[in-house]
Structure 1
Amino acid sequence: MEGLSVGTFGLLMMTMMCFHQFVRSSAQECPSTHDLLNSLRQVEKMLELHETSYQQGLRSLRKKINALHNSTMAVFKTGRNESCPKPDPPAHGRRLGRVFEVGHEVHFLCKPGYELIGPRTRVCLDTLKWSGQQPMCRYLNVTTSSLASLSSPALSFTISAASSSSSSATSPSLLSPPTSSSPSSSIRPSNCTHFLGSTHCTCDVGFTISGRDNQICTDIDECHLFPLAQPGRLCIHQCINTPGSFHCICPPGYNLASDGRSCTDTDECESQMHNCTADQVCVNTYGAFQCVTVECPKVKNATFIKTSPMRCERNPCMLEDKACSQAPNSISFHFLAVVSNMSAPRVLFRVSAARVLGDTLRFGLAGGRGRGHFSVQRTGQQTGTLLLVTPIKGPATLEAEVEMSELERSNLLGRYLTKVTLFVSPYMF
């Protein structure tokens, strides 16, 4: 009550006495109600002023404590260097991280075609030294591999894929990736940092911390966590686990795609990596190629000549030669490459007539291997469509013969045959 005036304090005391006497029904004269309310307002204002003064004093005290702490730390830091020496990036690699103070981390990556040997992450310890050993990048010898390097703060790995087996024989052989069964490679000590009385242990990327007191780092088997049959799988074909990483491998005839996980077919026909002869046609398939020979059939009383690499036409028939007239007017050859277990129904091929001489045009399935997988439907006035009605598990080679017949008043004017050959890959990609 130090801030209250003497008069106000006296008025308050008198008010309290009057209230006490009023209870005892005394007749002593007391201050009026107006004077009493004024006194209470003055007391309320005084209390608010005291509260404001207390808050200001508290804030001033906090500022002084912070200033004292900062000045103490500045004095402490002036006597020593709190940064570790700048680590050099490994040859054929690079370093990630520009802060080298105590407690901070730096990360290391290798260029494509190189493998990181040593820790991927190093921590600046309170001894002003980096944890672990200086890493290095080792060259990977590959024959039929294309390497891709992927990295992110949460995940870092190297992926390799086998390509066509027809690559140059002078290429060096692919190194066998290390397996997670080796204790020396799948288990390693953790990187622990002791700072200001506390211990913080970390593992290199691709390892998880375990063991008593978090002193052991165990390799994460990414291939086991993301199997091929699960959505979000790591590799579309084969995954090989390695210490701290994994490899995606493609089958022969494929190259690793730009995403580092998928496999893209190698076109041996376009790249001239086939062994087809001059009288053969190279047909690229998924994962391989086929050398096919297109020959005109031999039919009794009919002669076919090759008018293009994929077409044979019948010579004119003798008058009243029914055997010759029943033979196809032309035979076309088409080759399609498909993946295994392709979904059905699916359109494979369309046959159309450039012009119609008769009054009727019919489409049907004449023959071929694997007829149970195919069907022919009329999809237009002059168009028929070859459909795949059941999936085909590869590897397999199937044929379908689509026949287009032209009639005039139910009399056959001509038959046109289209032979479609399907090369089904053993893979679903």
Structure 2
Amino acid sequence: MTLLSSYPCIALFNCSTAPGFPCFCWTKKCSPDMQSSLKQVQKLLSTHEAAYLQSLRTLRKKLNLLQNTATKQTGKANNGQHTAQTSEVANSRKLGKAQNPGHEVHFLCDAGYELVGAESRMCQESLTWSDINECASSPCLNGGTCVDEMNQFSCTCTKGWAGATCQSPVPTSTKQNRGTTHCTCDPGYTISGRDGTSCKDIDECELFHMGQAGRLCIHACVNTPGGYRCTCPAGYNLTRDGRNCKDIDECATRLNNCTRDQMCLNNYGGFQCVRVDCPAYETPPTRNPPCSVDNKVCSQAPNSISHHYLSVVSNLSAPRTMFRVSTLRLMGNTLRFSLLGRGQAERHFTVQRSDRQTGQLVLGCPVQGPATLEAEVEMTELEKGVQLERYITKITMFISQYEF
């Protein structure tokens, strides 16, 4: 409390009745009018002080109430009762394990994928996740500039474009004689409207995708304002020409989930995890000494079993040689090739001899993928009708869903 020395006498508090307050006492006597004025000032200050203390108590109560409410909500969130759940993004890694309001998480796409939408999300007070950057997905087309706003965005379009996302072209016009106006449209658009003053997008995918000059895209065509773009299925990347698709080698780029005891085999549009288990024989086949006459297991067991895997596209033209089996040195006087098993193998394959020491597996007709075909080719060396050597070659063919 500040006391002004310009007053002839100030006695706001009685030192004996107001302990704890600073007191200033003067011995100079005050006039009756001055004493009355001082009493009014004292009463006014007391009223303001009481109002201030009441406001302070009310504010403290509100702060305590807000603190208790926040503590309860945080406790419930930590107990899993009202915890915001982050929506998972396929083919990505999530950075951050935040669960409470105000926290953020970030997403990073796996190799071969592109993020659509905001890469960061924040937990709101309503325990829902909201995109932070509304412009992260580049929604403005044709060179438009995106302006991020609260839970929305707006686009500032370049000259010649209009619309919420700058998707509509503005016709260009030139003045002709006699006061007429002739409108022309940008490439990829055609004049439309009764008065011919608007432009309509041309759907190149519908008109030219299967044209005489060939397909616009090897896989899928997507129409865009004023043009088109090609897309590829999962497991493929678009080539530099923007029309064809190239297979992604998941085995070479480690985009596979094969375990250590499995072999990763890349095929068109994907991969296969294969584990080869060699059979165990009671008596290993050998020529020195030869198998005994009464040991059929030994005599019928092959000298070797080899596994081979092929990756081919769908509807491959046929007949076509898929694999060749040969011997470097003929030990007997006869070499025989045959196709083991029946059913699927006989419906799709045949075995033919290409020369004296080579046999070949032939695909008889085109096969629509996706499919997996298996065949076993047996090569046997004979000496005057007696089996000397026997080799089995197992061929597994993975056929893609697509023709590229």
Q: TM-score, normalised by structure 2?
A: 0.57
User: Deviations 1:174-222 (Å, cap 9, x if unpaired)?
Assistant: 759999xx99877654210126656442112210123334312110001
Aligned partners of 2:371 and 2:252: how far apart in 1?
23
Measured after TM superposition, the shift of residue 330 of structure 1 is 0.3
Is the alpha carbon distance of 1:334 and 1:369 closer, same or farther for their aligned partners in structure 2, counting shifts above 3 Å? farther
Match of 1:386 among 361, 372, 390: 361
**Mapping for residues 271-290 of structure 1, pairs under 5 Å:** 271-290=253-272
Which amino acid in 2 is paired with 1:172? L
**Mapping for residues 136-151 of structure 1, pairs under 5 Å:** none
Matched position secondary structure for 2:251: coil
Is the alpha carbon distance of 1:232 and 1:340 closer, same or farther for their aligned partners in structure 2, counting shifts above 3 Å? same
- Stretches of 4+ aligned residues off by more than 4 angstroms: 174-179, 182-189, 195-198, 228-231, 313-318
Retained in 1: the 8 A contact 2:112–2:237? no
Is the alpha carbon distance of 1:229 and 1:361 closer, same or farther for their aligned partners in structure 2, counting shifts above 3 Å? farther
Q: Please name the residue that 1:319 is paired with.
A: 292
Q: Please name the residue that 2:309 is paired with.
A: 335
Q: Please name the residue that 1:167 is paired with.
A: 111
Structure possessing the higher relative contact order (Cα contacts under 8 Å, 6 or more residues apart)? 1
User: Deviations 1:363-394 (Å, cap 9, x if unpaired)?
Assistant: 11112772111111100110001111011111
Match of 1:194 among 162, 175, 180: 175
Is the alpha carbon distance of 1:176 and 1:403 closer, same or farther for their aligned partners in structure 2, counting shifts above 3 Å? farther
Match of 1:293 among 275, 283, 288: 275
Is the alpha carbon distance of 1:337 and 1:176 closer, same or farther for their aligned partners in structure 2, counting shifts above 3 Å? farther
Structure 1 residue 423 corresponds to structure 2 residue 404: no
**Mapping for residues 200-211 of structure 1, pairs under 5 Å:** 200-211=182-193
Which amino acid in 2 is paired with 1:240? V
How many pairs were matched up? 255
Which amino acid in 2 is paired with 1:414? E
Measured after TM superposition, the shift of residue 258 of structure 1 is 1.9
Which amino acid in 2 is paired with 1:319? S
Is the alpha carbon distance of 1:420 and 1:230 closer, same or farther for their aligned partners in structure 2, counting shifts above 3 Å? farther
Structure 1 residue 346 corresponds to structure 2 residue 313: no
Aligned partners of 1:177 and 1:349: how far apart in 2?
51
Matched position secondary structure for 2:215: coil
**Mapping for residues 94-109 of structure 1, pairs under 5 Å:** none
Runs of 5+ consecutive residues of structure 2 not aligned to the other structure: 1-89, 92-108, 118-136, 142-161
Matched position secondary structure for 1:426: coil
Measured after TM superposition, the shift of residue 303 of structure 1 is 4.6
Which amino acid in 2 is paired with 1:288? G
Measured after TM superposition, the shift of residue 167 of structure 1 is 2.5
Aligned partners of 1:278 and 1:235: how far apart in 2?
38
User: Deviations 1:70-107 (Å, cap 9, x if unpaired)?
Assistant: xxxxxxxxxxxxxxxxxxxxxxxxxxxxxxxxxxxxxx
Is the alpha carbon distance of 1:315 and 1:289 closer, same or farther for their aligned partners in structure 2, counting shifts above 3 Å? farther
User: Deviations 1:225-252 (Å, cap 9, x if unpaired)?
Assistant: 1235875211111111122122211001
Aligned partners of 2:139 and 2:371: how far apart in 1?
33
Aligned partners of 1:314 and 1:281: how far apart in 2?
32
Aligned partners of 2:263 and 2:337: how far apart in 1?
28
Which amino acid in 1 is paired with 2:319? P
User: Deviations 1:334-354 (Å, cap 9, x if unpaired)?
Assistant: 000001111100111111101
Match of 1:410 among 375, 385, 393: 385
Retained in 2: the 8 A contact 1:268–1:284? yes
Runs of 5+ consecutive residues of structure 1 not aligned to the other structure: 1-142, 145-164, 305-312
Matched position secondary structure for 1:325: helix
Q: Please name the residue that 1:216 is paired with.
A: 198
Retained in 2: the 8 A contact 1:353–1:382? yes
Match of 1:247 among 229, 232, 235: 229
Q: Please name the residue that 1:154 is paired with.
A: none
Which amino acid in 2 is paired with 1:353? T
Q: TM-score, normalised by structure 1?
A: 0.54
Which amino acid in 2 is paired with 1:421? T
Structure 1 residue 235 corresponds to structure 2 residue 217: yes
Which amino acid in 1 is paired with 2:111? S
Aligned partners of 1:237 and 1:331: how far apart in 2?
39
Measured after TM superposition, the shift of residue 166 of structure 1 is 5.4
Measured after TM superposition, the shift of residue 318 of structure 1 is 4.9
Q: Please name the residue that 1:45 is paired with.
A: none
Which amino acid in 1 is paired with 2:356? Q
Aligned partners of 2:174 and 2:247: how far apart in 1?
48
Aligned partners of 1:368 and 1:265: how far apart in 2?
33
Is the alpha carbon distance of 1:406 and 1:345 closer, same or farther for their aligned partners in structure 2, counting shifts above 3 Å? same
Aligned partners of 1:315 and 1:291: how far apart in 2?
38
Matched position secondary structure for 1:324: helix
Aligned partners of 1:315 and 1:281: how far apart in 2?
34
Is the alpha carbon distance of 1:318 and 1:360 closer, same or farther for their aligned partners in structure 2, counting shifts above 3 Å? closer
**Percent identity of equivalent pairs:** 54
